[in-house]
Structure 1
Amino acid sequence: MMRYSRPWNGQEISQEQAFRPDDCLISECTSLSEAGAHSVLMSNGSGTQQSYLLQHPYPKRPIEHSPLRSGFFTRPRAGKEKDATPEALEAFQRMNEVVARVQELQEALDEPSKLWSNLQASWDKAEQEDEPRMAEIVRQARDLEKPLKELKQRIRRVLRRQTELTSLDRVQEMDRSSMVWLSRQPGNTIAERAGSSQRIMAVVRKENFDTLENRVLHAYSDLAANVGKEWIREHTRARGSERYRQVENFIKLCISLSRDLRELGIGIATSDVTPNYVLMEDKGYRRVREAWEKLLRREDAKDELWKWQAETWTDFSVLLLVLSIFEMPDTELIAQSPILFNDEAVKGVWYKQDRPIAVFWLKSINRVVEVMARPDRPGTLMYLSRAHVALRVSDPSDPSAYPHRVAVWTPHALRKLDLLGASEGAFRRLYDLQRLPSQTERIKHGLILTPAHGEAQTEDIEQSGLLVHAISLDGSGAPLANGRRAIRAFLTRDIWG
């Protein structure tokens, strides 16, 4: 297995060396059984000649094997932020911002015909420092407010049978224990056995609210209120935003509901309960149970997102590219892949789509451009470039001309990349690929999209008809705004052929 600190590097890391926090954790192998923890970015060849380009996760511990990784800082834990290093806290915040941008795709998908314009509006808001990020508790505050209010008005109760002393004129049912009690009383008739109080043991039915579904409702309202308060503390500068008000009102609703449930004597469910019929079939209680389970899994989900940040960054970069082309003047979206958004990220990947994800017609220069991501069959040159995102550019007026590609690298590391060094390395990679014979492929230019770690920057190299442009950006605020402008500027250059 060959390991690389950067996807365009020709020099591999030796087997004795460990991946470090400033590496991209990329490797290449011919057998997945020896690869360790990984996700497959691309593959090439077939049968015994097949090669795989892999992305490895960031470790949960400072040192981990298979592959060897060392010196990594770990994710900050909820309630233990003071024990985390500033570097880890900043990395965690950047991760949350990028995840929020990708999750906004889910909301935009509510109107598929306006998908990219809706996503553009959401990202425009994210460029403002006082706009809070999307999170699971924000979605629940929006989607569950009405169901919770309805449940508050119809808290489910059951009638439970119990035996107690009951007036003779109110006795409706007796069980075995009641009959035994009655037989032991002195007297010949029932009235004599009832004594001066004229009461006997009988079965009565009484309302009880302490059911499993209500205990789950109680547990959810407490947990949602605490998660909401945590989100509010992180976004104190966003008091005037719609999301902030929505979460604030949801917290008040959860606290009020929790108080009512406590007054009715309802306990709190444990996290390992087995759902009953009501929790699975009643629409309101089912939605509460599903939301509760999502919040319970959030710590495990954060671990997964931390490990696979590089894959989420690719999702973010692909959306960024599509939006940037969508925003170009005199551009028309002519085809769009169906997009399936996952409830939870699978190894950092939030959505599934066919290839290409979008196809545009650039009217002014008469070019068709396709945005390709994680291709199944990338072609030899694209595989050798180690860029698993690309723009495929074709001229519809000349069917005999082969399309060319703009290679897009999305390197992610926990420490900032040297942009100038990155652009020089990627340029050398493209320059070497020009010498390889190919009848159907051409790679003419390259684009690098990498985290800015607080300050967006750009670097480029243009020689011998090749252009490599490196851009660093983040998921919110000025680094997002500056990065989007830099990508739009790159797209206006002579990269279309």
Structure 2
Amino acid sequence: MDEAEVFAASALQRMNEVLARIQELEEALDDPSDVWTRLRAAWKRAEDEEDPRMSEIVKQARQLRPVLTDLEKRIRRVLRRHRELTPLDRVQEMDRASMVWLSRQPGRSVAERAGSGQRILATVRRENFDTLENRVLHAYTRLAADAAREWMREHPRAKQSARYRDVDSFRKKCKSIASDLAEHNVLLATPGITPNYVLMQDRSYHQIHEGWKGLLKRDKAIDDLWAWQAQTWTDFAVLAVILAIDELEEAQLIAQSPINWKSEAVAGRWFEQDRPIAVFWLRDTDRIVEVQARPEQPGSLLMAAQAHVALRISDPTRSAVPRRVAVWTPHAMKRINLQESVREVAQLIDQLQQFARLEVFKHGLILTPDHGMPEALQFEGTHSRVNGIALGASGKSLADGMEAVRAFIRNEFKGAAA
């Protein structure tokens, strides 16, 4: 691959990893009372590069391989009528067009009209595999083989894992069936077809049709993700901050907004929630911490800072003004200069402090993709402190990044007790 292809492949891999971390929230929501513990366990597994991420193709490799094995033995075919010159002793059926043809041939008897070759135009039936259900099967196996190959390319260190072997075996099965269908002149179905009786009533073909729609939906999600990467990254950062707070021994979740998971992303977002998304009580320091993701009423300072995420820290025992920690989630196709960014943000906070009346606004956090180069640093402004963390969404990059987020949270709440 040339440089541009390598860059595109790396960008796609990072996008898929971020998307996988967010989609793990869907499974965690199966138990609303224990969402963050379940999500944290899934993210912990993602820190091990030899335990590759679950994805649509992994699920299908396990669920649909027996289905493909079943269909491979009984690929549906139909008998279709054709007209062709047929030996007299093998003629079984003639239609009107065949009779007209025969009547126009010279001769007084059928044998004379059959000529020296003793053949006449007759209707014959031939096996034909080019049915709608087989077109769907052909389209699915090709798409599934491509998705499996992409997944395997993204997880080269997982070759010894069961998931990797399942996907590789599934890829080979799909390629074999696609090759057979191509040899039988089966065309490819186009997205949006109206399913016929077989696709709706035959269990195996129906499962393949559903799997095909699932992979098509995945491709659409990736297309949307290209356009809305920044929104998806912000949701990833929100989940990272919540998990870091939830891991504190003194943190107790006291309120959580309903989280509505969508069947497909809208403008890069897979879930919606009320504000704040989570509220924690810090027992030792006696503070209430609200995680505000895209707040409807961010306030003048947060709006001026252009931060989409914030922590609101308040003391329920006193009437003191709350403290706000802004969280910036910049996303770019190339790695940003983190050192320069924390310096600029610190200067911005110093400038905004003079307008702070109803809340304390001193500290900030930047969470940005690491593009393969994780980093964590801190900058002290005149009256502010800003931490910058570049992290990834899998492997050691995720592990180091989450540890840096935890360190920031621990340090921030130690100061809250003062």
Normalising by structure 2, what TM-score? 0.79
Question: Is 1:104 matched with 2:41?
Answer: no
- Which residue matches 1:56? none
The one-letter code sitting in structure 2 at the alignment partner of 1:313 is W
Corresponding residue of 2:378: 460
Is the 8 Å Cα contact of residues 213 and 278 (structure 1) preserved in structure 2? no
Contact 1:394 1:404 in 2 (8 A): yes
Task: Note the C-alpha offset of 1:84.
Answer: 1.7
* CA-atom RMSD in angstroms: 4.0
Given the superposition, is the C-alpha separation of residues 159 and 127 from structure 1 closer, same or farther in structure 2, using an over 3 Å criterion? Answer: same
Aligned to 1:367: 287
Deviation at 1:244, TM superposition (A): 1.0
Partner residue, 2:259: 339
Distance 2:379 2:133 in 1: 62
| 1:292-349: CA deviation from partner (whole Å, max 9, x where unpaired) | 5347658xx35x5345433222121111111111222133333333434455544433
Report what 2:402 is aligned to. Answer: 484
**Alpha carbons of structure 1 residues 464 and 295: separation in structure 2 relative to 1, 3 Å:** closer
Aligned counterparts of 1:118 and 1:468: Cα–Cα separation in 2 = 30
Shift of residue 266 of structure 1? 4.5
> 1:430 maps to which residue?
349
Q: For 1:305-324, what aligned pairs fall within 5 Å after superposition?
A: 305-324=225-244
The CA distance in 1 between the partners of 2:372 and 2:401, in whole Å, is 11
* 1:286 match: secondary structure: helix
Q: 2:138 matched to 1:215?
A: no
CA distance in 2, matches of 1:111, 1:159: 52
- Change in 2 beyond 3 A, CA 1:434/1:142: farther
Matched, 1:386 2:294: no
What code does the residue aligned with 1:284 have?
Q
The aligned residue for residue 238 of structure 1 is 158
- Looking at structure 1, the residues matched to 372 and 394 of structure 2 have their Cα atoms a distance apart, in angstroms, of 10
Provide TM-score, normalisation by structure 1.
Answer: 0.68
State the Cα deviation string for residues 67-97 of structure 1 (Å, max 9, x = none).
xxxxxxxxxxxxxx31428666655544443
Distance 1:254 1:111 in 2: 35
C-alpha contact (below 8 Å) 2:137/2:209 kept by paired residues? no
1:286 aligns with 2:205: no
Q: Secondary structure at the match of 1:375?
A: coil
- Give the distance between the partners of 1:355 and 1:295, measured in 2 at CA: 29
Is the partner of 2:130 in helix, strand or coil? coil
Distance 2:218 2:248 in 1: 39
Q: Amino acid of the residue matched to residue 429 of structure 1?
A: L
Asked if the contact 1:159/1:208 (under 8 Å) is kept, the reply is yes
Q: How does 1:111-122 map to 2 (within 5 A)?
A: 111-122=31-42
Partners of 1:103 and 1:134 within 8 A in 2: no
Which residue is equivalent to 2:268? 348
Hey, what does 1:412 align to over in structure 2? Answer: 331
* Cα pair 1:151 1:284 within 8 Å, conserved: no
Q: Is 2:394 aligned against 1:471?
A: no
Mark the runs of 5 or more structure 1 residues left unpaired by the alignment.
1-80
SS at match of 2:2: helix
- Find the counterpart in structure 2 of residue 421 from structure 1: 340
Q: Structure 2: 5+ residue runs without aligned partners?
A: none
Matched length: 408
- How many percent identity over aligned positions? 49
Q: What letter matches 2:209 in structure 1? A: R
